[in-house]
């Protein structure tokens, strides 16, 4: 699970390790947040050169993990867990060091709370969408859609499907049957050019509803038929999407307009860049 955390309005990329039950944070993001350096990578090089103990143990303190870069591409970056970050912070003379330590403790505590009580994760997600300016009725649908999606991926896992690539293929089948477009084509239609932009965060109410319908029907069929091969699951995904697609077409006939929209929830600044 990849996340963006904020420390005093500074973006910190992070990944939750399910097996170890701990966060790993982007070292370069942390250094930038603590030092306000214009070149945090260069700062890290100088920091390592003046701290031999840190430099000699860098390989054990840091772990290369994939994270999303500013250009939307996934690249391996140096990350560290809380213990590793505390060692790095010792080499950074910054008045923000102590507040950052408290922030680390809070982030870890909140994640453990969410594991014990998943409803807390939903509440925090709801607050995040509210802060971004999404309408409350839209947020309710979006959160419901997340739950339906989770049920579907859980069902696929029961059928022996675990690879993200395979999930993407099955999702594309549902989307194409529902909307006539794969998710990548849909993102292009909406003007979403970055990989880290979630298509569903830019859907309107009806788009979310038909997405949920396609995925819920797919889950129901799969639970009933218990497919044993990927090909069978792919066929079920297409059938589930077709049900939603026919419902969409009937809705469009009644409304006299297309449900599929090129509108999105990009900020004003982001929309200007597209022009």
> How would you label 103-126 residue by residue, b for 16+ Cβ within 10 Å and e otherwise?
bbeebeeebeebeeeeeeeeeeeb
Q: How confident is the model at residue 119 (pLDDT cuts 50, 70, 90)?
A: low
Alpha carbons 223 and 228: distance in angstroms, whole number: 11
CA gap 6, 195 in Å, rounded: 20
Predicted local confidence at residue 219, as pLDDT: 97
**pLDDT digit string (tens) for 138-188?**
998 998 998 899 899 999 999 999 888 999 999 999 999 999 999 999 999
4: left (phi over 0), alpha (psi -120 to 50) or beta: beta
**Percent share of the chain, pLDDT over 90:** 50
d(CA 58, CA 87): 10
C-alpha–C-alpha distance, residues 211 and 207, integer Å? 6
- The two tokens of residue 49 are 């050169």
Top-confidence residue, 235 or 13: 235
237 alpha-carbon distance from chain centroid: 22
- Residue holding tokens 């959160």? 143
| Residue 148 to residue 153: CA distance in whole angstroms | 9
How confident is residue 274, by pLDDT bands cut at 50, 70 and 90? very low
Give residue limits of the domains in the chain. Answer: 2-116, 135-274
Sign, CA torsion 263/269/270/275:
positive
**Which range (69-83, 85-99, 108-122, 253-267) has the least confidence?**
108-122
CA 125 to CA 45: how far, in whole Å? 36
Q: What is the DSSP string of 145-169?
A: HHHHHHHHHHHHHHTT---HHHHHH
Q: Which element (helix H / strand E) includes 15?
A: strand 10-17
Q: Is 225 exposed, middle or buried (0-12, 13-18, 19+ CB in 10 A)?
A: middle
Closest CA to 111 of 140, 83, 132, 82: 82
pTM of the complete model:
0.60
Q: If phi over 0 gives left and psi between -120 and 50 gives alpha, with beta otherwise, what is residue 184?
A: alpha
């Amino acid at each position: 699970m990849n996340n963006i955390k904020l420390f005093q309005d500074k973006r910190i990329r992070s990944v939750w390790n399910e097996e170890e039950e701990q966060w790993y944070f982007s070292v370069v993001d942390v250094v930038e947040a603590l030092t306000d350096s214009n070149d945090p990578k260069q700062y890290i090089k100088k920091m390592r050169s003046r701290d031999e103990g840190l430099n000699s143990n860098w390989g054990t303190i840091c772990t290369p993990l994939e994270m999303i870069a500013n250009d939307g591409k996934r690249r391996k970056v140096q990350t560290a867990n809380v213990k590793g970050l505390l060692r790095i912070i010792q080499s950074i003379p910054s008045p923000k060091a102590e507040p950052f330590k408290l922030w680390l403790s809070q982030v870890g505590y909140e994640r453990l709370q969410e594991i014990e009580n998943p409803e807390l994760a939903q509440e925090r997600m709801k607050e995040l969408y509210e802060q971004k300016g999404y309408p409350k009725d839209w947020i309710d649908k979006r959160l419901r859609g997340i739950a339906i999606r989770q049920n579907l991926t859980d069902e696929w896992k029961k059928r022996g499907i675990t690879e993200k690539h395979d999930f993407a293929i099955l999702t594309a089948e549902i989307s194409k049957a529902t909307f006539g477009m794969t998710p990548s084509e849909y993102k292009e239609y909406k003007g979403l050019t970055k990989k880290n932009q979630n298509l569903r965060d830019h859907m309107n109410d009806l788009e979310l509803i038909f997405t949920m319908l396609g995925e819920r029907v797919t889950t129901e069929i799969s639970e009933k038929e218990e497919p044993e091969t990927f090909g069978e699951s792919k066929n079920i995904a297409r059938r589930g999407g077709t049900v939603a697609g026919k419902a969409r077409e009937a809705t469009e006939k009644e409304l006299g307009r297309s449900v599929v929209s090129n509108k999105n929830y990009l900020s004003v600044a982001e929309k200007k860049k597209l022009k």
